[in-house]
Structure 1
Amino acid sequence: MTSIGAAARRATPRTIPSWLILALACAGQFMVILDASIVNVALPAIRAELGFTPTGLAWVVNGYLLAFAGFMLLGGRAADLFGPRRTLVAGLLLFSAASLAAGLATAAEVLVAARVVQGAGAAMMAPATLAVINTYFTEPGARARAFGAWSSAGGVGGMIGAVAGGAITTGLSWRWVFLINVPVGALLIAVALAALVTVRNARREPLDLAGAVTATAGLAALVYGVMQSAEHAWSSGRVLVPVLAGLLLLAVFVVVEARFAGRPMLPLRLLRIRGVAVGNGMLLLFGGITIAMWYFTSLFLQNVLGFSALLAGLGQTPAAVTFMLVARASAALLPRAGARALTLAGGALFVAGFGWLSLAQAGSGYLTGVLGPTLLVAAGIGLTFPTLMAAATAEAPEGAAGVVGGLANTTSQVGSSIGLAVLATAAGAAGSPEALADGYGLVFLIAAGLGLALAAGGFLLPRRA
């Protein structure tokens, strides 16, 4: 990152408003997270028009998530080799073109293929936006504030996805759920070309092809196998074969990077940096916590308390707003309090909030049974997510900001996928509201345990991020 960072520091003070660079990074992250959820409400309309089977329809969502997780490390390495500007613009072009193809699709297979390509574009955008922050915001306080805003942007995207998807599908067509990305993507491309500097790769490093193939295939196979556990038992070949294949490919990736790659895609020395190693390990745990909060709380509201999908979304809005406000506030706290203190505080909020939430039953009221504990958990997420992302990326050496950002995004995404599969098994699939409440209660207790583990891990983080 020497040449890129130096060029950015030369250009930023005189010609590039820092707010514009931050807005660009936040908007890119917003699009990535939004498109993971906005399509959910449109699925019935998509199925009716394109003739999807119930199993095939799931791949409108899973195809995006699978490519997003699988290509993230490669996207991060691309940001290091070619610079954040080129990688972000390329990701936006791919994402926008795939969105256009999805919006115009007349066959189920075309839509699924477009969603896979969209996920690959998102996998370039997400680490590139992190690389932009690490490159252009070098002062600790400014970087912390940038991470807070970036985290809030992702939270906004996740929060409004269902509401925006429903409004667009009802008012226009499901096709505009995808087509809206085209003009927005074009605007962001124009901003990126105007605001970010281009620095040529002076070292002309070749891409680590063997590492790229084994990492991408391994991550994709692992996430695919975990996704299959939603419909098949963990002992089923449909789950075990891809999971084991993914783990084997990732083991091969480690061997390739350690012994054979001249210019490794993920230099293993990065994992000896305390912030990178501990931060990524904690992001795996954090993925399960976020799934327990947003996904299973929504199911509790609908399946136990009888809320409609719209009311469930509105019921989670106070928690989402709390997350955004606390995430922004944690940016100011991080330089002074340090990563350990904020992670410990967040872990305590997870234990208290999920412990309280586990007591909710079919007869519980929303205000006392759900609202109070979810506000505590959301505050914990707001404290810990920007803190962990900062800790996992702040010590990135020069030339590795992109791949470190890609690694952080990957571990968070894989943690969410594994967390969803494990917690769904604990929750149980069907039953009376009372039985479901017991299953969700177990999910929330497990999440409280994850919060306790996160708090304990906080002692291993560097004092400052």
Structure 2
Amino acid sequence: MVTSAPTAGRSSGASRTVLAPLALAQFICSFAGSNMNVMINDISKDLHTTVHGVQISITVFLLVMAALMIPGGKLTDRYGRKRCFTTGLAIYGVGAVIAAVSPNLGVLIVGNSILEGIGTALLIPPVYILTTLLFPDLTARARAFGVVMAMGGVGAAAGPLIGGLITSVLSWRAAFGFQALVVTVILLLSLRLTDPIKPDPSRSFDIGGAAISAVGLLLVVMGILAASTNLWLTLGLMLAGALVLAWFFLRVRAQERAGKEPLISSSLFHVRASNLGLVTQNLQWLILMGTSFTVAAYLQVVRGYDAVQTGVIFTAATVGLLAASLRAEPLSRRWPQRRLIMAGFAITAVGIGLLIALVGGSPTPWAFAPGLLLIGTGVGLMLTPSVNLVQSAFPEARQGEISGLSRSVSNLGSSFGTAIAGTILVADLTRGSYAAAMAVLAVVSIGGLLTAMRLPRSQEPAQHGSTVPDAAAPPGG
């Protein structure tokens, strides 16, 4: 049983000290997921690979995060949030150094996709657990998550610009050196972090469940990646993945009936508000990362822009995302989270529509700005309320599980975004595949809006130490 520390006063003196390393950690992990998009040509030439090869590296990185995020969240209960955070940072830093000196695509995948992915899966759940535990008040939590999500969103949206500048001035390898440097700074800042609740070394860890869930997710995303070459292989891999995941959930139910602790409790899916919030998180990151890869690849391969030019164009998305994310606290006081998420998807859909309409009719790079600005604004508007809604639906004793699940769902969305949009795009970059990829993302935005409309009209934070709200009665009524 997890022992709870007193919550009173947690958000006062230590808040700024805590938020600095946590927000910076979210920034660098999001940066890693998008900065390679502007290095496609440079990496392809240097490592003698293709656009599809770079896409695989990016997708595997996102997939490793998604597959291991649930186990990573579970491990925080057993070994502690700070220990998992610092261990993840160390693994991430080693991976960044290996990627920086990689002589071929295989070594790049080991450093960037595997080790950085594992490190991220260990360090990101503590970011969300600590933010939730240290800020028990809904408004204060919205402010804290606003900072964390703003840094994450800026990392994803500004990754192309920062990565482009580093690549053009130095090389694409220096961008990984930059990541290692930032990780070192975070490790120094985290020395002052304290764990608000004690770890419980006696907690069991379902290694078999972690392996089964990871294999299932891997098969699904591999199926999407295979769509450009063999549709039958795609169907086979996705069916196999679905069967493995079904086996995983049947195993979870069997363990619960036997009185054992599974990797993830089925009761996490008994809260309607949280379930719908998880879906919106998945779709938000699918849209953001799908747009980032599609637009970046189109600009470089079709328009012939270099890394800096591509990064500058993405500044519009960064500005919109940062402005909206930093308004999370005042917006949460004025508007229900459901309405903010709905507005975010609606604005994003309009932005994608503009990217399709304006880019197709104009050769100027400025045609990308209005659409990217709206997409950044829409995603920034809904990132914080979606996370806050999910985390607040559970008491602190469940934060390790729900944080791992939440981050896994979000990173799976990032994987889907890069895999789906990228697969469509690289099929034939010169003959309408850009518009097709963006049209798929527009449909996803509309699906997100319809999902958000089903969210409860109000959502109150779960009281610390309380039980999980009953499935039949969404929290907050």
Category of TM-score, reference length = shorter chain: 0.7 to 0.9
**Corresponding residue for residue 453 of structure 1:** 450
Select the residue among 72, 85, 90 that pairs with 2:82.
85
Q: How far apart are 1:118 and its partner, in Å? A: 1.4
Q: Report whether the alignment pairs 1:256 with 2:251.
A: yes
Q: How far apart are 1:464 and its partner, in Å? A: 4.2
Q: Secondary structure at the match of 2:136?
A: coil
**Corresponding residue for residue 406 of structure 2:** 408
11 and 443 in structure 1: CA distance in 2 versus 1, 3 angstrom threshold: closer
Select the residue among 50, 57, 69 that pairs with 2:66.
69
Q: Report whether the alignment pairs 1:236 with 2:232.
A: yes
Q: Report whether the alignment pairs 1:155 with 2:150.
A: no
What is the one-letter code of the residue matched to 2:236? V
Q: How does 1:135-284 map to 2 (within 5 A)?
A: 135-197=133-195, 199-202=197-200, 204-229=202-227, 231-233=228-230, 235-237=231-233, 239-261=234-256, 262-284=260-282
| Structure 2 Cα separation of the partners of residues 80 and 396 of structure 1 | 15
What is the one-letter code of the residue matched to 1:248? L
The answer to whether the 8 A contact 2:206-2:263 is kept is yes
| Structure 2 Cα separation of the partners of residues 112 and 279 of structure 1 | 32
The answer to whether the 8 A contact 1:346-1:455 is kept is no
**Corresponding residue for residue 23 of structure 2:** 26
| Structure 2 Cα separation of the partners of residues 432 and 22 of structure 1 | 45
Q: How far apart are 1:104 and its partner, in Å? A: 3.8
| Structure 2 Cα separation of the partners of residues 425 and 236 of structure 1 | 15
179 and 255 in structure 1: CA distance in 2 versus 1, 3 angstrom threshold: same
The answer to whether the 8 A contact 2:73-2:405 is kept is yes
**Corresponding residue for residue 6 of structure 1:** 5
Deviations 1:280-318 (A, max 9, x none): 122233233324543444456667877655334322312
| Structure 1 Cα separation of the partners of residues 429 and 105 of structure 2 | 33
277 and 455 in structure 1: CA distance in 2 versus 1, 3 angstrom threshold: closer
| Structure 1 Cα separation of the partners of residues 373 and 48 of structure 2 | 41
Q: How does 1:21-60 map to 2 (within 5 A)?
A: 21-42=18-39, 44-46=41-43, 52=49, 57-60=54-57
Q: How far apart are 1:330 and its partner, in Å? A: 2.4
42 and 346 in structure 1: CA distance in 2 versus 1, 3 angstrom threshold: closer
The answer to whether the 8 A contact 2:283-2:444 is kept is no
Q: Secondary structure at the match of 2:202?
A: coil
Q: How far apart are 1:88 and its partner, in Å? A: 0.5
The answer to whether the 8 A contact 2:51-2:426 is kept is no
Q: How far apart are 1:89 and its partner, in Å? A: 0.8
**Corresponding residue for residue 314 of structure 1:** 312
The answer to whether the 8 A contact 2:88-2:123 is kept is yes
The answer to whether the 8 A contact 1:291-1:416 is kept is yes
Q: Secondary structure at the match of 2:395?
A: coil
Greater alpha carbon shift after TM alignment, 435-444 vs 20-29:
435-444
Q: How far apart are 1:396 and its partner, in Å? A: 2.0
| Structure 2 Cα separation of the partners of residues 174 and 354 of structure 1 | 29
Greater alpha carbon shift after TM alignment, 49-58 vs 273-282:
49-58
Q: How does 1:283-322 map to 2 (within 5 A)?
A: 283-291=281-289, 293-298=291-296, 309-322=307-320
Q: Compute the RMSD of aligned alpha carbons.
A: 3.2
Select the residue among 115, 131, 134 that pairs with 2:132.
134
194 and 318 in structure 1: CA distance in 2 versus 1, 3 angstrom threshold: same
Deviations 1:255-278 (A, max 9, x none): 121122511221110111233211
300 and 184 in structure 1: CA distance in 2 versus 1, 3 angstrom threshold: closer
Q: How far apart are 1:392 and its partner, in Å? A: 1.6
The answer to whether the 8 A contact 2:149-2:325 is kept is yes
The answer to whether the 8 A contact 2:283-2:445 is kept is no
Greater alpha carbon shift after TM alignment, 89-98 vs 353-362:
353-362
Greater alpha carbon shift after TM alignment, 145-154 vs 414-423:
414-423
What is the percent sequence identity of the aligned residues? 26
290 and 461 in structure 1: CA distance in 2 versus 1, 3 angstrom threshold: farther
Greater alpha carbon shift after TM alignment, 337-346 vs 67-76:
337-346
What is the one-letter code of the residue matched to 2:232? S
| Structure 1 Cα separation of the partners of residues 315 and 73 of structure 2 | 32
Q: Secondary structure at the match of 1:350?
A: helix
107 and 282 in structure 1: CA distance in 2 versus 1, 3 angstrom threshold: closer
Q: How far apart are 1:362 and its partner, in Å? A: 3.1
Select the residue among 370, 376, 387 that pairs with 2:374.
376
Deviations 1:348-382 (A, max 9, x none): 32344344444335334769954334433332212
Greater alpha carbon shift after TM alignment, 262-271 vs 304-313:
304-313
Q: How far apart are 1:78 and its partner, in Å? A: 1.3
123 and 102 in structure 1: CA distance in 2 versus 1, 3 angstrom threshold: same
| Structure 1 Cα separation of the partners of residues 48 and 310 of structure 2 | 28
Q: Secondary structure at the match of 1:362?
A: helix
87 and 437 in structure 1: CA distance in 2 versus 1, 3 angstrom threshold: closer
Structure 2 stretches lacking a partner, 5+ long = 462-477
The answer to whether the 8 A contact 1:350-1:380 is kept is yes
TM-score, normalised to structure 1, is 0.86
| Structure 1 Cα separation of the partners of residues 226 and 196 of structure 2 | 42
The answer to whether the 8 A contact 1:391-1:461 is kept is no
| Structure 1 Cα separation of the partners of residues 445 and 358 of structure 2 | 14
Q: How far apart are 1:232 and its partner, in Å? A: 2.0
Deviations 1:170-227 (A, max 9, x none): 4334433223333432332232232223754347111122222212222222223223
Q: How far apart are 1:145 and its partner, in Å? A: 0.8
| Structure 2 Cα separation of the partners of residues 428 and 55 of structure 1 | 7
Q: Secondary structure at the match of 2:357?
A: coil
The answer to whether the 8 A contact 2:291-2:438 is kept is no
91 and 461 in structure 1: CA distance in 2 versus 1, 3 angstrom threshold: farther
Q: How far apart are 1:436 and its partner, in Å? A: 5.3
What is the one-letter code of the residue matched to 1:6? A
Deviations 1:143-183 (A, max 9, x none): 00111111111122123322333333343344332233334
